[in-house]
Structure 1
Amino acid sequence: MPAIKSIKSRLLLWIGLPFTALACLALLSSYLLLTRQINETFDDMLLNAAQRLERRIYTVDGELRINMHYFSISTLGSRGEGKIFYRMREVGGGMIAGFQGLGDPPVDLSEPIFYDITYAGNELRAVALMFPFNRGRENVNIEVIVAESKEARYTLTNDFMVTLAGLTVVAGILAITIALLAIYHGLAPLNSVSQALRRRSPHDLQPLEDDVPKEVHPLILSINQLMLRIRRSIESTQQLNADVSHQLRTPISEIRALTEISLKTTQEPAIRANLIEIQRISEHASHTVQQLLKYAKTRSELVDETHFEAVDLVALCQDACAQTATSIYQKGQELSFDQPHAIPKVMGDPILLLWLVINLIENASLHAGGAESYQGPIDIALTTQQQQVMLTVSDQGTGVEEAQLGKLTERFFRHNPHAPGSGLGLAIVEQIATAHSALLSFSNRPQGGFAVTVAFPAMQPLALRYE
């Protein structure tokens, strides 16, 4: 799966790459322009220095001399960094002054010529020119070469480029900072939408507010349309559950009624045996259909938290005990509820929570005895612990093997095949607990038996529960 890049990284990439390319192009252009301008300036100064030498030449007894007392050569880059070399000689004659080994110009000197040479291990930029001079009655041509080492040019160019590069880096940092601020404020509406969605309950399908910039409006519209489709799908599923409940319960109830009537009107042993088996199967089918419908209705994505209310678990457990007491006592079992005082209320759906408690009681009644019918007590307790309300339903039966504890909430899993049931009771309990942000746990009691605990978040701090 390819790495997911954030919008911020994409924007920084598309801002940073062009800026970096432009900065590199600007530095290269600046380097070329500065190099040309500096070379032209140095060359002009070098030519001016060569032309000033003409005023230093004089004749003594027909020989050409140079006034060394007043002679000096200065260029823009002298600054103590460069080296100056010169040579003056009569064309077709001898040396007047300077360095004999300084290289000759590459072409004839009809006009001043600039060229690069190497002398005494130095890279030099030289200018060569020729001018006429009157030596008595004789006209002669004098060749002048002035050369300067290139260190000063390189130093000046480097100084300019270092300064320019530093300014470019500072400008780049400022540009990136401004871009980050602009991206942060530009993405603020998306962050607000993201936070609004994270704060929502998984079951809250109300439309998002569309007070957002026009660029984000299509996203909000798409999210709201998706929520509308999900809500309609949930409503359709709930309606289907109701239809299935009606369509299946009616024929199963008719089968049970006809079976009971038939049992009263016939005495044939074989027929009665078949009718009893039909009655057992229909009762099992009725229970399974009822559990399947409860399982479908308690799916967490179908539970609407907006209809939750404050539920008194004490009263709810009393109601569950009242509804199951008759069947419990008919089996020779006992049902006890340790009625506590000042238990905080919890937020939830009272009908679903009632189903949860009844399922836990019925599960203990059916499976606590293992292969034999259970004849012991079923205890219900409510306690408080660490800002939670703990509901515990326990028995004193055979317990559950440790290896099977993790499978108890799987659909249709039955750890006790000897007892009737659909294998959906604890799966329904788990879904109801999940929808109420409660934690479901199982344990075998040290003194024998099995306990199921559901930890609900308390509505108010436990320290204030007596107020």
Structure 2
Amino acid sequence: MIRRDSLYRRLLTWLLLPLLALGGLMVLQAWLDARRTADRAHDRLLEAATLAIAEQVQWQDDRLWLDLPPAALEMLATDAEERVFYALFDARGRFVTGNAALPPAPEGPAAGDALRYADLEHRGLDLRLGVRGARLEDWRRGERFEVRVAHTREGRERLAAELLRANLAYILGMAALAAALLVLAIRAALAPLTRLRRAIRARDPRTLAPLELPLPRELAELREALNELLARMRRVRANQERFIGDASHQLRTPLAGLTARAELALRQEDPDRWREALETIHAGGTRISRLAVQLLSLTRLNNPEYHPEFARLDLNALARETVRLHWAGCHRDGVDLGVETPATSPAIQGLDWQLEEALGNLIDNARRYGARRITVRVRTEPTILEVEDDGPGIPAERRLLMLRPFHRGSDDPDGSGLGLAIVDGIARTHGARLFLEDAADGRGLRIGLHFPGVGR
């Protein structure tokens, strides 16, 4: 089963992906901020602890002495039950007292009274170390010393996790609200498209009236494009209805004549009358058959879905073959039919039967309208396939009208007015230009197809 693409799904995907990426960045930033906040809070406790211990250091019995109050380390105790370590070192770096001989900070001993921090591993424990350098406040001795306090990281990690959970709840709530608003916004933005779809579905399939629906600018352009398509379809349907009306009129008249002639013959008893009626019916049937063939040809040429496959054609051979097929009929009517071809035959891409039909229509028109001499000619540079006759011709102001279906230049009952329309359709199918000009001697008509861009 083929899965149909969805504009709604596509918009939602392309808008949610950046939103998810932004949410991920916000979560990462929240985690980093929680870690920094927890570190700052516990570093303050380390600072207070080292300061409280440094204030208790005294000189006694010619040595540094520390009476550690319980409050100095209790301030580092939290619900996470971290392990707390402290140590006192003299100016020479010798361990004086403490519950663990903590190593110095990796950067070296603290300068002055500045407090320095370091993350280190001691006895398999990850510790946060605070180092404070200090001096005895006794006026008799100014001995320097160093206080080192460290604790494990459980409290920091717990505080960071609590801060992250609080921020994460806020971020997830904002993300859910943003996603909901995004979905509602996309639905609201696509609502005009839904209205357009429903308006199209609700239309009567027989109507081609333009769509009148208020839409945003982008969809208004689509609506106008649809209205332009409907306008073209109205013109096509109008042309089809006119063509059908003209065709039915053209067929109804000879069919009615055949019916009337047959009814009249049925009332006769004379075999000669019957033969005369049969000859008339045969001639009428021939005209109707020719008209039907021309109607089918014109219908196929006017079909926009008709895309024939062209082949390479020799115009000299095509012109000679067409003359051979029509020579007997022209000779019977006393018409001199000939062909003129160049020494080197031009070749084109086309359909031989269509071009033969075009030449046949031009020859038949010329013969029907009084020509006594008809010449089929092939020219090169430019490539032209034309028919020239010495008949009465067509006035220049009426030549474009003759290309319309069912438009006839005379009251000849045998004519259908489709010959030149079919030739024009064949020319357009081959990308050629149809031209109607006066004959070379000024009497008659020259009609041809000019094939641009075709060499010798």
| TM-score, length-scaled by structure 2 | 0.54
- Checking the alignment, whether the CA contact within 8 Å between 1:259 and 1:279 is kept in structure 2 is no
Indicate how the Cα distance of structure 1 residues 93 and 225 shifts in structure 2: closer, same or farther if over 3 A, else same: closer
Residue 179 of structure 1 pairs with residue 177 of structure 2: no
Match of 2:85 in 1: 85
| TM-score, length-scaled by structure 1 | 0.53
1:167 pairs with 164, 167, 170, which one? Answer: 170
Following superposition, the deviation at residue 53 of structure 1 comes to 0.7
1:230 pairs with 228, 233, 247, which one? Answer: 233
Match of 2:62 in 1: 62
Match of 1:143 in 2: 146
Q: What amino acid does structure 2 have at the position aligned with 1:244? A: A
Q: Aligned residue pairs: how many?
A: 290
Determine the C-alpha separation between the residues in 2 that align with 1:226 and 1:114: 77
Tell me, which stretches of 5 or more residues in structure 2 are unaligned?
A: 300-456
Q: What amino acid does structure 2 have at the position aligned with 1:64? A: L
- Checking the alignment, whether the CA contact within 8 Å between 1:115 and 1:127 is kept in structure 2 is yes
Indicate how the Cα distance of structure 1 residues 109 and 44 shifts in structure 2: closer, same or farther if over 3 A, else same: same
Indicate how the Cα distance of structure 1 residues 11 and 245 shifts in structure 2: closer, same or farther if over 3 A, else same: same
Match of 2:395 in 1: none
Following superposition, the deviation at residue 47 of structure 1 comes to 1.9
- Checking the alignment, whether the CA contact within 8 Å between 1:62 and 1:136 is kept in structure 2 is no
Indicate how the Cα distance of structure 1 residues 81 and 280 shifts in structure 2: closer, same or farther if over 3 A, else same: farther
Indicate how the Cα distance of structure 1 residues 185 and 77 shifts in structure 2: closer, same or farther if over 3 A, else same: farther
Q: Deviations over 1:202-249 (max 9, x none)?
A: 212222223334443222222222222222212211111111111223
Following superposition, the deviation at residue 19 of structure 1 comes to 1.9
Q: How does 1:131-280 map to 2 (within 5 A)?
A: 131-133=134-136, 137-255=140-258, 272=275, 275=278
- Checking the alignment, whether the CA contact within 8 Å between 1:56 and 1:71 is kept in structure 2 is no
Match of 1:98 in 2: 98
Match of 1:108 in 2: 109
Indicate how the Cα distance of structure 1 residues 194 and 224 shifts in structure 2: closer, same or farther if over 3 A, else same: same
- Checking the alignment, whether the CA contact within 8 Å between 1:56 and 1:67 is kept in structure 2 is yes
Indicate how the Cα distance of structure 1 residues 162 and 277 shifts in structure 2: closer, same or farther if over 3 A, else same: farther
Identical-residue share of aligned pairs (%): 28
Residue 49 of structure 1 pairs with residue 49 of structure 2: yes
Q: What amino acid does structure 2 have at the position aligned with 1:18? A: P
- Checking the alignment, whether the CA contact within 8 Å between 2:82 and 2:153 is kept in structure 1 is yes
- Checking the alignment, whether the CA contact within 8 Å between 2:27 and 2:168 is kept in structure 1 is yes
SS class of match (2:97): strand
SS class of match (1:216): helix
Tell me, which stretches of 5 or more residues in structure 1 are unaligned?
A: 297-467
Determine the C-alpha separation between the residues in 1 that align with 2:71 and 2:177: 53
Indicate how the Cα distance of structure 1 residues 136 and 179 shifts in structure 2: closer, same or farther if over 3 A, else same: closer
1:124 pairs with 90, 112, 127, which one? Answer: 127
Match of 2:6 in 1: 6
Determine the C-alpha separation between the residues in 2 that align with 1:12 and 1:59: 74
Q: How does 1:377-388 map to 2 (within 5 A)?
A: none
Match of 1:384 in 2: none
Q: What amino acid does structure 2 have at the position aligned with 1:112? A: L
Following superposition, the deviation at residue 88 of structure 1 comes to 0.9
Determine the C-alpha separation between the residues in 1 that align with 2:225 and 2:14: 27
Q: CA RMSD in A?
A: 4.0
SS class of match (2:104): coil
Match of 1:25 in 2: 25
- Checking the alignment, whether the CA contact within 8 Å between 1:86 and 1:147 is kept in structure 2 is yes
Q: How does 1:451-462 map to 2 (within 5 A)?
A: none
Determine the C-alpha separation between the residues in 1 that align with 2:174 and 2:77: 31
